Amino acid sequence: MRLLFLFGVLLISNIGCTQNSATKTNQNNIHVGGSCEGCEAIHESPTPFDSLKNLCWLPDWNDKGRKLAINGVVYKSDGTPAPNVIIYVYHTDQTGIYPKKGDETGWGKRHGYIRGWMRTNEKGEYKFFTLRPAAYPGRQVPEHIHVTIKEPDKNEYWIDEYLFDDDPLLTDKERKNCQDRGGSGIIKVKDVGNMLKAERNIYLGKNIPDYPKK
Q: What is the CATH number of the domain that holds 125?
A: 2.60.130.10
The mean pLDDT of 163-192, rounded to a whole number, is: 97
18-154-45 Cα angle (round to 5): 70
Give SS3 for 199.
strand
CB 207 within 8 A of CB 77: no
Asked, for residue 199, whether it belongs to a domain, the answer is yes
Does residue 211 fall inside a structural domain? no
Residue 3 DSSP symbol: H
C-alpha dist (Å) from residue 198 to 71, 153, 162, 187, 204:
7, 29, 10, 6, 20
CA 214/CA 197 separation, integer angstroms: 34
Predicted confidence band of residue 180 (pLDDT cuts 50, 70, 90): very high
The per-residue pLDDT for 73 is: 98
Counted domains in the chain: 1
pLDDT at 100 over 50: yes
Amino acid at 104: E
User: Residue 67 domain-assigned?
Assistant: yes
What is residue 21's predicted lDDT score, i.e. its pLDDT?
A: 28
Q: Is 35 among the domain residues?
A: no
Residue 193 domain-assigned? yes
Q: Which residues pair with 164 in a beta bridge?
A: 187
Provide the domain limits for residue 111. Answer: 46-203
- Whether 130 contacts 63, CB under 8 Å: no
- Provide CB contacts within 8 A for 108, sequence distance 6+: 41, 44, 100, 115
Mean pLDDT for 4-26 is 34
Asked if the model's pLDDT at residue 171 lies above 50, the reply is yes
Quick one: average pLDDT of 84-113? 97
**Alpha carbon 129 to its chain's center:** 14
Tens of pLDDT, residue by residue over 19-38, are 232 323 344 567 999 999 99
**144 belongs to a structural domain:** yes
β-partners of residue 55 are: 127
Strands 67-75 and 202-203: parallel
Determine which of 17-31, 64-78, 93-107, 164-178 has the lowest per-residue pLDDT on average: 17-31
Classified as helix, coil or strand, 179 is coil
Q: Is residue 212 part of a domain?
A: no
Q: Region 161-168: what's the mean pLDDT?
A: 98
- Residue 19 inside a domain? The answer is no
> How far is CA 101 from each of CA 109, 128, 204, rounded to the nearest angstrom?
9, 22, 34
